Each structure stands twice: as C-alpha cells, then as structure tokens.
Structure 1
Amino acid sequence: MRKLLSGILCLAFSALVVLPASADRIRDLTTIQGVRDNALIGYGLVVGLDGTGDQTTQTPFTTQTLTNMLSQLGITVPAGTNMQLKNVAAVMVTAKMPPFSRSGQAIDVVVSSMGNAKSIRGGTLLMTPLKGVDNQVYALAQGNVLVGGAGAAAGGSSVAVNQLSGGRITGGATIERELPTTFGSSGTINLQLNDEDFNMAQQISDAINRQGVGTATALDARNVQVVVPRGNSSQVRILSQIQNIEVNVGPMDAKVIINSRTGSVVMNRDVTLDSCAVAQGNLSVVVNQQNQVSQPNTPFGGGQTVVTPNTNISVRQSGGAIQQVRSSASLNNVVRTLNALGATPIDLMSILQAMKTAGCLRADLEII
C-alpha cells in the first residue's frame, strides 16, 4: 500500500512538472492606443574637443552655426574671417518624449556627429532646442557627452574601439512644453496586440469580461476595445487591473527569420519539418593569374622587355550527396536534423528556401 501511494504521488508530481501552467500578462501582450513616445530632434554644437572636431573647410555649416551663436551672445565675427576650428563639431540631437511628460522632467538624448569629426569624446553639448514634428520646441538639451568608444592614432596608424562619433547624455534634456493628451476623455480604451492573432485577441477579450472590469470586444486580430467609464482616475484604476490579467498563450505562427546581411537564421519553437531529400554541393571557380617578365638576351640587341600574363582557371565541385531529412515535430529535432546536413549558415539559407518551396518546411519564411 505504501509503495502504491508513493507511486501515485510520484506520478502526480511528474505530471505537474511536465505540464506547467504558462500564462502571460496582458501588459506584456498589448499596448494602449494613444499612449506612446514622441520623437524630438535638434541641431547643435559640441565644443571642448581635443583637436578632433570638424574640418571647417569641408563642413562650412559648422562655421556658420558658430558665427550665428556668437552673434546671439554679442560677439561679432568680422566678415571673411577664416576660422580654423578643431575643437567644435556639428551634431544632431535626438530624444524620445515619454507619454504624460510634464514640464521640468529630464529625458535622455543621443548626440551624433553630422560632419567629419574624428571623435566627440570629452565634448560638451551647448544648449540645443529639440523640436517635434509640428516644429514646436518641446525640450532643451545641454550637457557633457558620454562616448562608449575609445581610439588612438600615431604615425599614420589608428585604432578605434566602438563608435567615436556618437554619444549619449543621461538626463541631458529638460522638457519645457507639455503635449496635449486625450486620455480619459473617451469612454473606450483600445488595446493593440503586439502581434496580430485572432485567437489571442479573443482570449484577451474573454479574460477581461470574466474579471468584470469592463466590457471588452475583439475588433480584429490587432485591436481589442474596452468600454470603461470616463475620467482619468477611473481609467487608470481599470487599466491597472486589466494589465495584470493573465492570458494563456497558445501556439503561435511558425516562423523562420533569415538575415541575409549577417548570415543569421532564427526559428521559433513551432517550426516543424516534413520528410524530404536534400542534396547540396559547392561549385567554385578559381582564377589564378601571374605576370611573367620576358627580357632580351643581350642588352643592346634591340629587343624590349615584355610582361606576359599567365592565367590558370580551375573548376572545383564538392559534395552533392542526397541526404534524407525525416519529419520533425519539435524544435530540438529540427535543429538536430539541420545540423546533420553539415551545411554552413549561407548554405542553410538556400536549403530552407528550397524546403519552403517544396512544401516540407512548415513555417513562414521571412528574409530581413
């Protein structure tokens, strides 16, 4: 009896281990329509560089900007002055204005050189207005630029680690103008799914209705509309409850992502293979050219020195054996099967494309 009871407990424990409850919160699956960042951009100057700034002869806009800035500070530069600046660089400043931002809030900015400066490391960004798409100034940026790279040059040789023409200023901009918002003025809230999925949209709608925090309706594969009372405080309270509701995530669309620039191949857990046969081979053409110099036998014989090319061309072909690919129902088996082919990442891209055409790759193939 004791052995039977222990066996039942072990079986129950193993069942709990094999079948864990997996669920994601709605906050991880959706975003709220209208609650988003807003891009800001500005043009400014970075000063204090150690001789690594713009070459003003090739970037005249740097000199023009500096002249305009000095005139605003009460300094007049005589016309026709050829300023040879080495410690100044023209830069573009970008930032993201978070939703519900208030005046006086600090945000991070990214500073990027737009001229031919060698490095903006150790520079200071002068006061730069940041504008929105409506050409209105929403923030002012200024501060010391932090560059994550390093470099050195001597004797015509140089070495650089990471990027030297771009940096970041933490809390380098202060918001001066607030964006108008319509949050709370409408009686509905639209939840936008991160990935379009009819099944997921319906599950989110049903989960919200079961909790009774609002009346939810799935409009399409991307949007779920929730009817809520008007008012900022009421909708904040309801959203805090909705975003913490857990939804069981079912099987997603099987996808294989190929990055042709880097040779990367990524596939999700739902990719499967059907039985097929694959033959791969490498065909290479080698061209070897050597120049031979032919000189006359006697110095005063009237002949000329002639350079004659000697070219050898060879064609090599390797591989080509047909290999059987068995059907695989899990990601581990798919990886094991593709590794058994012994193909390089470049060859694997072509093999996956051919498998998709033949119908034995059960996944969407996307090339980025």
Structure 2
Amino acid sequence: MKRLVLALVLALASASGAHAERLKDLASIQGVRDNPLIGYGLVVGLDGTGDQTRQTPFTAQSLNNMLSQLGITVPPGTNMQLKNVAAVMVTATLPSFARPGQTIDVNVSSMGNAKSLRGGTLLMTPMKGADGQVYAIAQGNLVIAGAGAAAGGSSVQINQLSGGRISNGAIVERGVPTAIAPDGLLYLEMRNSDFGTTQNAVQAVNARFGAGTAAAMDGRVIQVRAPMDPSSRVMFLSELESLRVQQAPVSAKVVINARTGSVVMNRNVTIDEAAVAHGNLSVVISRGAAVSQPDTPFGGGQTVVVPTTDIQVRQEGGALQRVQTSTSLADVVNALNALGATPQDLLAILQAMQTAGSLRAELEII
C-alpha cells in the first residue's frame, strides 16, 4: 500500500511539473539585449555576375570612393563597366556583453541587380548602430547556400544566390555598456503578459531566495533584489534563470491567416452545441472564340473571329448539420472536420460560430 501511495505521489509530482519551464525561457532581464548593426559595402571577385553599373550607378561611385582612399585616382568621366563587383548591405547582431576583439556572424545581401554573389569576397565594411557609431568591422569570403546554371536561354536555380553569410565575419571594435542592477534592483520582463504566470514566478523566486526577494510590479514586470557584489550577482542570476516556474493556462485563442487559409487553435478552445449549414457558391465564366465565315466564297463577306462567353452559377446545397459540444481539442477538430468544409470555408464558419456564441475562444485574424 505504501508503494502504491509513493508511486501515486511521484506520478502527481511529475504531472504537476510537466508544464514547468525555466524562468529564462519565460522572462528576460531588463537591459540585457542585443543590438542590430548595419553597413554598406562592396563584394568583389564575382565571376561576371556582379552589378550592371549603368543601372546601379552607386556601385561605381562606391568603388571610386574606395579607390581614392587607397591612393588610386580614376579620371573623371570614366565609364567603368564592372561585372565582378556588387553593392551589398551587411547586417549583424551585436550580442550583450560583447567586448572588442570578439567575432560575430554577418549576413550579406545584394543591393543592386547582381545575378549571384557566389565566390565573392566582402571588403572591409564598417558596421554601425542606431546611434551612427561604428561597433564592428566586417570582411571575409561569402558562403552561398544556393546554386544555379544558365546556358542557351535556359536557367535553373536552387535557393537564393543574392545573399550569403560570413561566419565570424566581423570583429567587434566597441562594446555596449550594460549595467545590471547597479542599485541592487533588477527587473525581469515576462515575454507574455499573464498575471498567473507572473505570480507563479514571484512565488518561485521567493521560495528559493527568501521572502521579499521578488515582487510583481504588474502583469509583466517583476522586481528582484540582487546581491551588490558583482561575482555573487552572476551566481545569483545563474540560479535565478534555472528556476522552474509553473506556466498558467493560456487563454483560448484561434488564429486565422486570411491570406493562406491557415487555422491554428490552442488546446483550451471549446465549442458549444450548434447547428451549421454551409453551402459553396461559385461563378464559372468560360470565354472562347468562334470563327465566322461567309456562305459563298465570292459573296463579299469577311471572315471574322466572334468571342463567345458562357456564364454558369453553381451552388452546392449545404444541409443543416449538428455540432456537438466539444470540451477538448481533439473533439473540436473532429466536430469541425465532420462539416467537410475547406480551410477557406472554415474561416467563415468560425467567425459565424463566434458571433453566435458557440465558439468559446478569442478569434484573431492576421
């Protein structure tokens, strides 16, 4: 009997912790963030697949500016027909706590009409932040995931050839100062505003580090008292992020993508009993051309092409069908599938069911 009780307790404990997630997956520390970087540069060494300078004059202008910095003067009015150079935009993300000398990955994307960046080399490109300051310098050989070939007017292409990536292609020149809890207080920002999950996080922190360590400011922000010593603060944050927090049940929601016809619903969606009738209405327009010729060869008539149009209206009868009350996601899926509606028809059905009060969920259209 004791073994049975112990097994039941362990099963309940594992079931209750099944939905517990690490606090680092539910929240982020205020002030610890990445920063986007952007730069404009040139890719050289292309095999005749670069920009056409007549259509992209900024490529030639950029090349002239670069050559002048290297001590090479191009005579005014020179029309350079370059095929191995392409103007590109370089983007990267500067992680938090980055220090000078570290390397980061960069993405290179064609800005002009280059056919391919395969085999190209990015020249030294300053990477600037939102404040206009240079935080990194990018340079290196591109890696292109696509492939393509063309001959005799025919071409084949796999993936994109106008963009590539350089692993560790930028060197950090300046870091962004990040101050964590200078006054002993740090703030956790929950990724989703939910009072239940926020309260569970506060209870988990206070249970581990003592009462009064954490306090909820609202449904999203939690104030946490951290040690003043920097080394102790790092250990404190490491244990804080590893705490297991029980996530509160999310609200029932159905998300509809009207452009693609996709319908996604979470497990809390339920429907009440209802009757649904849905019929498809389609209009078919067929156009053709008939040739009209004169009856006699020399009657003076002309042979003309007469357009013909055939319009048909088709309506499929939709019988009234009963939808049973469904309290689980599987029952909801089976009930909706029983209607035999297409994804596009399902959009209208769900909207009508919500208006009628049968759909127990929030309907969001994106």
Q: Tell me which interval the TM-score lies in, with the shorter structure as reference length.
A: over 0.9
Mapped to 2, the partners of 1:349 and 1:190 lie a distance apart of: 41
8 Å Cα contact 2:37/2:92 also seen in 1: yes
Match for residue 166 of structure 2 among 169, 180, 184: 169
- For residue 82 of structure 2, what is the aligned residue in structure 1? 85
Write out aligned runs for 1:126-137 (5 A): 126-137=123-134
Write out aligned runs for 1:56-135 (5 A): 56-135=53-132
- For residue 312 of structure 1, what is the aligned residue in structure 2? 310
Mapped to 2, the partners of 1:17 and 1:265 lie a distance apart of: 34
Mapped to 2, the partners of 1:226 and 1:313 lie a distance apart of: 70
> RMSD value over aligned CA atoms?
2.2
- For residue 17 of structure 2, what is the aligned residue in structure 1? 21
Aligned residues: 364
Mapped to 2, the partners of 1:33 and 1:14 lie a distance apart of: 37
- For residue 345 of structure 2, what is the aligned residue in structure 1? 347
Q: CA deviation at 1:202?
A: 1.1
8 Å Cα contact 2:250/2:268 also seen in 1: yes
Change over 3 Å in CA distance of 1:287–1:70 after alignment to 2? same
Q: CA deviation at 1:300?
A: 4.4
Write out aligned runs for 1:135-174 (5 A): 135-174=132-171
TM-score, normalised with respect to structure 2 = 0.93
Give unpaired runs (5+ residues) of structure 1: none
Mapped to 2, the partners of 1:126 and 1:184 lie a distance apart of: 40
Mapped to 2, the partners of 1:11 and 1:101 lie a distance apart of: 49
Give unpaired runs (5+ residues) of structure 2: none
Q: CA deviation at 1:139?
A: 0.2
Mapped to 1, the partners of 2:114 and 2:184 lie a distance apart of: 53
Report the secondary structure of 2:65's partner residue.
helix
Q: CA deviation at 1:175?
A: 0.2
Q: CA deviation at 1:188?
A: 0.8
Change over 3 Å in CA distance of 1:284–1:161 after alignment to 2? same
TM-score, normalised with respect to structure 1 = 0.93
- For residue 244 of structure 1, what is the aligned residue in structure 2? 242
Does 1:331 find its partner at 2:344? no
Q: CA deviation at 1:13?
A: 8.9
Percent identity reads 63
In structure 2, what residue type is equivalent to 1:218? A
In structure 2, what residue type is equivalent to 1:120? L
In structure 1, what residue type is equivalent to 2:264? V
Mapped to 2, the partners of 1:284 and 1:152 lie a distance apart of: 43
Cα-to-partner distance string for 1:223-267 (whole Å, 9 max, x where unaligned)? 111122334323212111111111122311112222223322211
Cα-to-partner distance string for 1:111-157 (whole Å, 9 max, x where unaligned)? 11111111112211111000001100000001111111112222222
In structure 1, what residue type is equivalent to 2:334? R
Report the secondary structure of 1:280's partner residue.
coil
Does 1:199 find its partner at 2:196? yes
Mapped to 2, the partners of 1:247 and 1:44 lie a distance apart of: 46
In structure 2, what residue type is equivalent to 1:236? V
237-246 or 171-180, which moves further after superposition?
237-246
Does 1:274 find its partner at 2:272? yes
215-224 or 274-283, which moves further after superposition?
274-283
Mapped to 1, the partners of 2:14 and 2:295 lie a distance apart of: 87
Change over 3 Å in CA distance of 1:81–1:24 after alignment to 2? same
Change over 3 Å in CA distance of 1:170–1:11 after alignment to 2? closer
